[in-house]
Amino acid sequence: MKKRIICVVLAILMIMTLSMNVFAVRHAKSANAARGTAIIDAKFDDAYLAADKLLVNQMADGEGGGGNEAHGEAWVLWDDVALYFFLKVYDDTPSGNPVKGTWWYNDAVDFAFDFDNLYDTDDQYGDNGGMFKISPYAEADDPVYTHTGFPYCVWLEDKIEHAVDVYPGGYTIEVKFPYNDEMKAMAKEGAYIGLDITICDCINDAEIRAGTAHWADDPVDAGNNWGYPWALDRLVLSGATYVAPTEAPAPVEDVPAPANDAPAATTTTAAPAAKTGDAGIIALVAVMALAAGVVVFKRKAVK
């Protein structure tokens, strides 16, 4: 009987352990955004240094069956009016498809976030989040793709700001997402939002996606976290701010020597010099003391 009870208890513990591991997958990753404001010019502002560096390197295969090597690093700022993202992408195989209607097969970055924090149970972004795709190779009149079914995306379309810099080996994207009124009320120090950043790597303009790289741990299917808000991980709006290092104190200048290059005078206390007369008296007293000592010594010897 005892053996059966022990077996049942062990089975229950094993099930609980496995369940905890399953639930731990979601939202296990967390990172801090720093408080600050950036100029949107695709150049790294020092304010980003106070934020955590997000490694966008969780790989997932695409229609091309893998081969994706594009990955990147991201930093996030927040203030009272907007979120700011700076993303550095490493990609040795640039691919830009100019055909409208299928331009999402360009190399691109997806930003998916949700301020409502309903992602534990909700499969919708609600009114305060969505997914936004920005390609460095998209046409100028259609540079940002948003899922227009999301209210926030519709509101944001004419307010989003972004800048791109393309160079051999990759590109940088910087983007500003202004808040709507509800998001302004939620953007407080210590609050957190659901987030994933996805780098899409395409193959030679062939309308085939080699794969994607994610910041979130991607517990869903290959590269589709944007469609599952409950698969997003956490971005904490921290109070950290960048503080510029203080300048080192200027070295103390050497004190200039006197104009005639003579060494500076020093003050010392010298013992008074002995006078000639005094020396004679001292010598006489010493001789007399010595003679007296000799006499005393002889008297003691006679006895």
Confidence (pLDDT) at 36: 98
- Dihedral sign for Cα 149, 198, 117, 23, please: positive
Residue 286 above 60 pLDDT? no
User: For 277, what's the count of Cα atoms within 13 Å in the CB-facing half-sphere?
Assistant: 0
pTM: 0.71
pLDDT in tens, 27-48: 678 999 999 999 999 999 999 9
Residue 267 above 70 pLDDT? no
3-state DSSP assignment of residue 145: strand
Q: Rounded distance, CA 20 to CA 6, Å?
A: 21
DSSP state string for 60-121: EE-TT-S----EEEEEEEE-SSEEEEEEEEE-SS------TTSGGGSSEEEEEEESS--TTT
Q: Rounded distance, CA 258 to CA 267, Å?
A: 17
Confidence (pLDDT) at 258: 44
Confidence (pLDDT) at 99: 59
Residue 275 above 60 pLDDT? no
Q: Which of 107-111, 146-150, 183-187 has the lowest mean pLDDT?
A: 146-150
Mean pLDDT over 36-65 rounds to: 89
Confidence (pLDDT) at 161: 93
Band of pLDDT at residue 231, cut at 50, 70 and 90: confident
For the chain, the structural domain boundaries read: 27-237
Q: Tell me which of 97 and 55 has the higher pLDDT.
A: 55
Say if CB 38 and CB 51 are below 8 A apart.
Answer: no
Give Dmax (Cα) for the chain. Answer: 139
Confidence (pLDDT) at 67: 61
Q: Which CATH number fits domain 27-237: 3.10.450.40, 2.60.40.1190, 3.60.20.10, 1.10.3720.10?
A: 2.60.40.1190
